[in-house]
Structure 1
Amino acid sequence: MDLNEPDNIIGGKSFTAVAVNSASKAGEWIKSKLGSVTQLSTKYSMHDLVTEVDKGSERMIRNLIATHFPEHSFLGEEGVEPGPEASVKALQDMSDAEYLWIVDPVDGTTNYVHGFPFFSVSIALAHRGEVIVGVVYDPMRDELFVAERGKGAYVHGRKMQVAKEASLCQSLIATGFPADHLVALPANLKEIQAIAPKVRNLRVAGSAALHLAYVAAGRLSGFWEHNLSSWDIAAGSLLIQEAGGTISDLSGEAYHLGVRNVTATNGLIHNDLLADLHAAHSAH
Structure 2
Amino acid sequence: MDDQRSAKLMNTAMNAAREGGKLALSLLGQPGYIRQKGPKDFATGSAVEVQNLIREILLRDFPQHGILAEEDPPDQVTEGEFQWIIDPIDGTTNYHRRVPFFAISIALRRGQEYLLGVVYDPSRDDLFHARRGHGAFLNDSLLQVSTKVEAYESFIGTDWPSAPLDRENSIRSIPVAMGDALSLRTFGSPALGICYVAAGYLEAYYHLALKLWDV
TM-score by length of 2: 0.94
Q: How does 1:3-152 map to 2 (within 5 A)?
A: 3-4=2-3, 6-8=4-6, 14-45=8-39, 47-80=40-73, 94=79, 97-152=80-135
Deviation sequence 1:54-82 (CA, Å, 0-9, x none) = 1001100111111010001110001135x
How many residues are matched?
214
Find the aligned partners of 1:54 and 1:33 in 2 and give their Cα distance: 9
Identical-residue share of aligned pairs (%): 35
Shift of 1:39: 1.3
Counterparts in 2 of 1:3 and 1:174: CA distance versus 1, 3 Å = farther
Partner of 1:276: none
Q: Is the 8 A contact 1:3 1:150 kept in 2?
A: no
Q: Is the 8 A contact 1:54 1:105 kept in 2?
A: yes
Aligned pair 1:191/2:173, yes or no? Answer: yes
Find the aligned partners of 1:104 and 1:25 in 2 and give their Cα distance: 14
Partner of 1:155: 138
Partner of 1:224: 206
Counterparts in 2 of 1:166 and 1:62: CA distance versus 1, 3 Å = same
Find the aligned partners of 2:85 and 2:150 in 1 and give their Cα distance: 33
Shift of 1:7: 4.2
Find the aligned partners of 2:132 and 2:6 in 1 and give their Cα distance: 11
Partner of 1:208: 190
In angstroms, what is the RMSD of aligned CA positions?
Answer: 1.7
TM-score by length of 1: 0.72
Find the aligned partners of 1:156 and 1:3 in 2 and give their Cα distance: 23
Shift of 1:194: 1.6
Counterparts in 2 of 1:168 and 1:102: CA distance versus 1, 3 Å = same
**Unpaired runs of at least 5, structure 1:** 234-284
| AA of the residue aligned to 1:112 | Y
| AA of the residue aligned to 1:40 | I
**Unpaired runs of at least 5, structure 2:** none
Partner of 1:238: none
Shift of 1:98: 1.9
Deviates more, 1:58-67 or 1:192-201: 192-201
Partner of 1:167: 150
Find the aligned partners of 1:64 and 1:156 in 2 and give their Cα distance: 21
The 4+ residue runs of structure 1 with deviation greater than 6 A are none
Q: Is the 8 A contact 2:158 2:206 kept in 1?
A: yes
